Structure 1
Amino acid sequence: MSTDQNGYSYTLTRTLDAPASRVWQAWTTPDQYAQWAYAVPGSVEMDVRPGGIWKATVRTPEGAEFPLTGSYIEVAEPHRLTLGMDVPGRPDPATMTLELTEQGPRNTVITLRQTCDTAEERDGAEQGSGMLLDGLTGFLADEAKA
């Protein structure tokens, strides 16, 4: 956990058993994203270009649903994606950057970074991002076995 002058930030890193182009596709294709990101089927919309919007309704393991919205800030396929996430009560969107680094034909390191305004916001965002990475890892592993 680190704090800088901009607030509270976190970085999560995982190694995935898939090429960067496949990881990118899983993250930016609505029907694939819905399969691993705890999204309600049919709720995911993605216009993957700078300024394009995204929407998804996420369902927690307890069954609560949370609508999420935002926009794409930076799109550099298949290596870097920066998302703006709308946060109720916050004037500016929260930003999350996803970086994909290939370390072999089927070995991609994914790094998620986000800076938040409070420790509580950071802890919640970091937990949510960890769940996303768990879901993505499982989705790609199941696909590799098929």
Structure 2
Amino acid sequence: MSTPGFDYTITRTLDAPVDKVWDAWVNPDNYGQWASAEQVALDVRPGGAWSAVMVIPGGARIPLSGTYTEVVPNKRLVMGMNVPGRGEPAIMDLDLTADGDRTQITLSQSFDTAEERDQAEQGSNMLLDGLTSFLAAA
């Protein structure tokens, strides 16, 4: 039973077909470009590990890692992210819905505090901005 938490859900329509959006998330070279990440390693399968060093504005580098819990190609990606000081990983659900040559993407997460949720939501919006720019240039 999950406890009531602080959730967010972001839905956007991307101007790219679903296979291109999927490839942007699961191809390490592509992910590194749009997510401002270095040293990207993605083992995209249930139980597979992922890691990346995010480079945030100002140049700070933040190492991130986790595992995939659900992988449905071109449809759904559920990944856990290891959070320092937290016993369980933070889970992010990514859902893709094809809409002709466009794709609806939905990201959602749940947190214990509003502060954690707000930080993650801001980060996810920045990620989606980068993804949108990457797909537009592709």
Cα deviation, residue 5, structure 1? 4.0
Cα deviation, residue 6, structure 1? 2.8
CA deviations 1:88-112 (Å, max 9, x no partner) are: 01111010000000111x1100000
1:27 aligns with 2:25: yes
Quote the residue 1:14 is aligned against: 12
Quote the residue 1:100 is aligned against: 96
Q: Could you tell me which of 55, 62, 85 is aligned with 2:58? A: 62
Quote the residue 2:82 is aligned against: 86
SS of corresponding position for 1:21: helix
What is the rounded CA distance, in whole Å, between the counterparts of 1:78 and 1:117 in structure 2?
Answer: 30
What is the rounded CA distance, in whole Å, between the counterparts of 1:6 and 1:128 in structure 2?
Answer: 22
Q: TM-score, normalised by structure 1?
A: 0.91
The amino acid that maps onto 1:117 is: D
SS of corresponding position for 2:44: coil
| Runs of at least 5 residues in structure 1 that lack an aligned partner in the other structure | none
1:120 aligns with 2:118: no
RMSD: 1.0
CA deviations 1:10-66 (Å, max 9, x no partner) are: 0011111111111000000000000000102xx100000000000000011111110
Percentage of identical aligned residues = 59
Task: Tell me the number of residue pairs that the alignment of Structure 1 and Structure 2 aligns.
Answer: 137
The amino acid that maps onto 2:34 is: W
What is the rounded CA distance, in whole Å, between the counterparts of 2:118 and 2:3 in structure 1?
Answer: 17
Quote the residue 1:38 is aligned against: 36
What is the rounded CA distance, in whole Å, between the counterparts of 2:50 and 2:130 in structure 1?
Answer: 19
